[in-house]
Chain A
Amino acid sequence: MTDTIVTDLKSRARTWHRGHYYEDFALDQTFVHHWGRTLTEADNTVFTTLTLHYNPIYTNADFARAQGHAGAVVCPLLVFNTIFGLSVEDLSEIGGPFLGVDKMTHHRPVIVGETVYARSRVIDRREPKSRPDYGIVTWATTGLDETGAPVIDFERANLVRKRP
């Protein structure tokens, strides 16, 4: 009986696809990525401790304040991974593995409680001869604070599947 419901659902549903194909990317095209993210104390402590990143400015607010910060500093690798994470659906969810990052710059320390936003621009697209079903797209991605000032930028390239 319940199997009938499943069969019916599968026959009537449209799949709400997420992500973009190679053909969807044009040179200089820009993306404002979804959601934004407030970097909380919980995020920072979990990330810093699970990755064993032992610098007390990330895990000791008293120490960070003594260094002149307004509070505990967000581990810069968490800032990177959050901006990257926010960009995935638009850029690389339909793709191959992520192969590398270049020219990553941290413009300033981010403090726990700040909110960051992500945006990207297509800086290269090409079609490798070895993989006719894929293209390679390179993006410049920027993480912005609440005022729109950059806190991080980097470039990354991915294999991106062509439309089937």
Chain B
Amino acid sequence: MQLNHKKAPINIKAALTIATSALLGTLPVIANAADDSTTAAKAQQESSWDFESAFLYYSESDRVSAAEAVINAQKTFENEEVLNLKLTIDSLTGASATGAAAQPNVQTFTRPSGKGSYQTQANETPLDDTFKDTRVQLNAQWTQPLAEDYTGSAGVHISKEYDYLSLGVNGNLAYDFNNKNSTFSVGLSYFQDRFEPEGGIPLAFASMPLAYDNEYDEYDEYDDEDGEDQTVNSAGKAAFNATRRTDSDDKTTADIMLSFTQVINRRMITQFNYSYSKVDGYLNDPFKMLSLVNSKGIAQDYLYENRPDSRVKQSVFAQTKYHFEQNVIDISYRYMWDDWAIDSHTIDSRLRIPLSRNSYIEPHFRLYQQSAAEFYQPFLAQSNSIPKFASADYRIGEMTAYTLGLKYGMKLSDGNDLSFRLEYYRQDPKNSGHQAPGALAEVDLYESVDAIIAQVSYSF
């Protein structure tokens, strides 16, 4: 009638602790109880900050690769005020498409700085391989209840790269109603960006100048005694500078976003967003150009691109999450349109499948389709007059893209979360009806870009 603990001194307490952890999926913890008399027993220190960290690696085949580290810290204060700080550091290296068209012959391009040149082999898409940048970004956001059912939030953003500075502020007001099952929010944000590219900002449709300080140049010695960048090749520098408008330029972005979230039932939640974004200022990419081709499709010159100095973007977004008995599905759709005549559709879906109480896999599928900007063209033809605006940047041309990915997440025995994500991303630029003369018909003007994304996340 009694337990057998005398002859077999099993530690029942320890055995139960393990069994309880298995049942609840928790980590074993210590309870603190104090008698009426001894209230001064050790109190558990409040874990004040929650951290999330992630490391992401992105690599396009033969092109850009990026490494990104993110650390996010969040603290909740007594009256449900939340402070969120996020630091992002990324480093970008590799080659990116310049906009120039592939040719049946070798092409020589001046580096953006004007100091040196590089060559692109026949039939290859010209890529500028001088891409190298490190970006440090800091976001701070403060959120707190303002009044019954009202939550306010305000934040600042600063992002600095070698040649780029972005400063931003944002504010958001959320109103809960219908028993907190519905939330309406309105958010405003404003960004001020300054671009100071290496080599300055080129004039619209200026011809790519010759390199003036080629490393193979015989005139590469500076006259130090003079204290100035005096080289024998100063005429080359003057020619280069003649293609430059200024050293730096600005753009501003003002966004407004309206959002409505509705809890349908215990298993389902939906969200609808509308956003309006107005960008003004310098919207060109100073490193992008267009090939000016003759009637045989052979490049005669390379001209810097020119885009309008304002853009108005609008988008609508709908998202639904549904929690099945086991799985969670998350589907969203976005429609974006702007006054550059770009419109895009994005469908994004994730399905979280628990493998056990402490782990899951999550397949991810994303499909993206966009139409070309009205001034997009893969090259300029000599037979036509130069248009007011033109860009051969494939990112504003017609394209479809898709992402296929898989994430594996697990809860570690200490209660922290660890996850791994691996994705394949493919961009397929399309011809939006441009006739390719002569040699251009033989080369790939719309080269696909393959990329791999790998991410490790850890929250503690």
A and B pair up: no
Query: Which A residues contact B (CB, under 8 angstroms)?
Result: none
Query: Which B residues contact A (CB, under 8 angstroms)?
Result: none
